[in-house]
Structures are given as structure tokens and as C-alpha cells.
Amino acid sequence: MQSGADPQGSGLKSVRRSPRLSPQAADSSQGGKEKKGGGSLQEVKRRGRMERSREEREEELQQRLQQLDLSSRAAVGGTGLVYSETFTHHNNLWEDSHPESPDRVTAIMAELARQKLLSHCVRMEPREAAEDELLLVHEKVYVDLMRSTQSMSERELHTLSERYDSIYLHPETFQVALLAVGSVLQLVDKVMTSELRNGFAVVRPPGHHAQVNQANGFSIFNNVAIAARYAQTQHAVNSIHRYEHASFWPHLPESDSQFVGSGRAEGRNINLPWNQTHMTDADYIAAFQQLLLPVAYEFQPQLVLVAAGFDAAVGDEKGEMCVSPPCFSVLTHMLMGLADGRLVLALEGGYNLQSTAEGAAACIRALLGGACPPLTPPTAPSDR
């Protein structure tokens, strides 16, 4: 209590002002009490500050997080977009109707133009990957073999292609594949140095099926794997894909949920194999929320690299899934919360031209900061 608040003539007030008490006695008897009382008052105030309501503390935390997010976005550039007409030069000389065609990238660029997204992106020219960059993942013998295809005849290219599973080669395949790898590396450099916030590489040929010493599944060099090594990060590899108990291509046991990586990567590989077709938006979102994102947030990566395949898009005859373009936007938004937003997407599969183009545009709109679009029912995952 403070003396100024005491009623006039109270005992405490008279004692404090009594001339009968010596200064020494006043100091010893009351000074200590005042000191103790002053300390108690500070303690009460301190406790009062600590005992603010949970809602108030959470509101303050949210405001601070928003301020941090705004400041971090202001400190870096925009969304990078890498594309070149050269990516259309890789094509099948003996099968005009092959699904992995140049139309895949031209359809995406046309859709980006239609949605007026191109002007909002930071356009970048691709660069060729150097040999030492390819050797981060692939064997030199294989790289040299792919280089030799530049001088092969169509017959020789066809014969070599037949050695692999689902591969075609063209005299310009090697150069185009170098540009595909280099494009992703260029985005990694810009994002890691905060020159760009994030980025999308509209590239081909795809890369995610390419193995250390052989081409596979339309893929020549493993673009994203090389980018991961290039960034010198140790990161979890998350994969959702159609599997159907190994009856779906590429029929590999490494695609099953029991495979968790090998060697130094053991325990860092997560496979989420769908054993049925026609999985919906809700199924993919549930997979992200319940499995992939919790693991990713625990790992706390410095960079997120996405092999952005659109085989799961509705209408894709190979994937036979039912993921809508708005869902690709939602999934991209989820990933943007990782690694301080350092996110690089590289085009992989997707063979329905319209669905692939709309899916890629949805991802780029999300990278640019666009709001999540509404999803159509069903909004609950299936029980399959």
C-alpha cells in the first residue's frame, strides 16, 4: 500500500510521521518495510504482465510473425521463371505422337500468357550445366555416351534408345538436357542468395526417372537430384506417386513405402505410393498435412526442391488421378511455409496438355503470392 492513499489520521500515517520516533528507529523499523513493500509491488506488476490472457499473447505473436514475413519478402526478389524455345528441340524422330512432346512446354507458356502471369515473373535465360555438375549424380561413362549422341544418325539413335526403358534420343537431346539441368541450378543459385524468392523451371526432358548410369522413363539427366547435390544440402525426399503394388510403371520396389533410402540417404526417403487410381484433391492434401509436412517441418530444410510432375492432374491418361489445378495451388502454398519460402519447382511429368498447363499456372500463381482458390467437393479424403 502507498501512504498517499491512507485516510487522514490513520495509525500507519501517524506512526510514519511521529516525532517521537528517532530517525534511526524510523529507518530501521519502517525503511525495511518500505523496501520490502516496494519489492513486492514490483513482483505483482511483473506477474501481472506475465499473466496476460493467452489470446492476447497469441495475437501479438501473429502480428510479429506477419511483420517478419513481410520484411523477409521485401528483402528478396520475385518469382523466377526459366524457359527457352530450345526446350522444344528434343523430339521423337520416329513417333510423332509420343506423349513427352515439345507441346508440353509451349502449352504451359501459352497458358501463362493467357492468365497474364508472365509479366509478373522474373524471366531468366537458361544456362548449360557443366560436366562436373552432371557428375554430382551421374557416372562419366554415361555422360560421355549421351554426349556422343550429338553426332549419331537417326538409326543409331533409335538403336541406343531401345537399350533403355521408355526413352527416345535426338541429335539435340544432349544440349537440351544440359539446359534443363542448368536452368534448375540457376534458380537454386538465385533463391539461395535471396536474389529471388522462389522459382519455376519450365524445362524438358524430364529428369526424375534418370538413374546414375542410364536414361529411364523419358528422363536423361536427373535435374532435381543434381540440384540437390549442387545446393550441398541434406534434405528429405518426399514422393507421392501411383504404385498399385508394383503393377504400375516403373514397377520398382524402391517406389514402395518400405523403401526409406539407402547408404547415407537411409531414413531420409519417404514414399507414399497410391495403390489405387482416381485419388482426389482431398487425398493429396491429407497426405501433405498428415505425413509429408510434419516430417518436413521437423527436418527444417534450407531449400525445397520439387520435381513438379502433373501426371496426377485430372484427365491425364497415364496418371489416372483426379487432382484439380486449384489443388496444385494449395499444395504449393503448403510448401512455401518451409525453408523461409526458398522453393524451386522443376517441370517433370504431365501428359494432358491442358491439365498440365493449368496445373503449372496454378503453381506459379501461388509462388507469386496469389490467394488459394476454393476447392470443389469432395473435401474429405477417401477411405481407400
For the chain, the three-class secondary structure string (H helix, E strand, C coil) is CCHHHCCCCCHHHHHHHCCCCCHHHHHHHHHHHHHHHHHHHHHHHHHHHHCCCHHHHHHHHHHHHHHHHHHHHHHCCCEEEECCHHHHCCCCCCCCCCCCCCHHHHHHHHHHHHCCCHHHCEEECCCCCCHHHHCCCCCHHHHHHHHHHHHCCHHHHHHHHCCCECCCCCCCHHHHHHHHHHHHHHHHHHHHCCCCCEEEECCCCCCCCCECCECECCECCCHHHHHHHHCCCCCCEEEEEECCCCCCCCCCHHHCCCCCCCHHHCCCEEEEEECCCCCEHHHHHHHHHHHHHHHHHHHCCCCEEEEECCCCECCCCCCCCEECHHHHHHHHHHHCCCHHHCEEEEECCCCCHHHHHHHHHHHHHHHCCCCCCCCCCCCCCCCC
Active-site residue, from 138, 209, 235, 241: 209
Determine whether 209 is an active site residue.
Answer: yes
Active site residues: 209
